[in-house]
Amino acid sequence: MPAVVGIFPMKTPEDRERFSDLDYAYIGARYDRHYSISREDLEILARSVRELVDDAGFLHNHG
């Protein structure tokens, strides 16, 4: 069974800032004309989101 907890690490200030960016991304990207995210942070978050989607699919199919 996948370990959904831990997909988004919160060990460092950078980890917490990236998660905060992800939390704001939907609204920011749609409504904040000054919203931006670095390519590095986007790539790191994209890997975590892909892992979350994969784990959610597994749980849906095998839960």
One DSSP character per residue, 13-32 reads HHHHHHHHHHHHHHHHHHH-
**Are the C-beta atoms of 59 and 5 separated by less than 8 Å?**
no
Q: What tens digit of pLDDT does each residue of 8-41 get?
A: 889 999 999 988 988 898 899 899 999 999 999 9
The pair of three-digit structure tokens given for residue 34, joined into one six-digit string: 């000054």
* % of the chain surpassing 90 pLDDT: 56
Q: What is the pLDDT confidence band of residue 4, given thresholds at 50, 70 and 90?
A: low
Mention every residue, 6+ apart, whose C-beta is less than 8 A from residue 7. Answer: 48, 51, 52, 55
User: For residue 8, is it within any domain?
Assistant: no
Residue 34 lies in a domain: yes
Q: How many domains does the chain have?
A: 1
1 belongs to a structural domain? no
In a domain, residue 2? The reply is: no
Q: Are 42 and 62 in contact (CB under 8 A)?
A: no
Residue 54 lies in a domain: yes
Per-residue model confidence (pLDDT) at position 30: 92
| Domain encompassing residue 19 | 13-62
Looking at the domain assignment, is residue 6 inside a domain? no
Q: What is the pLDDT of residues 47-60, one digit of tens each?
A: 999 999 999 999 89
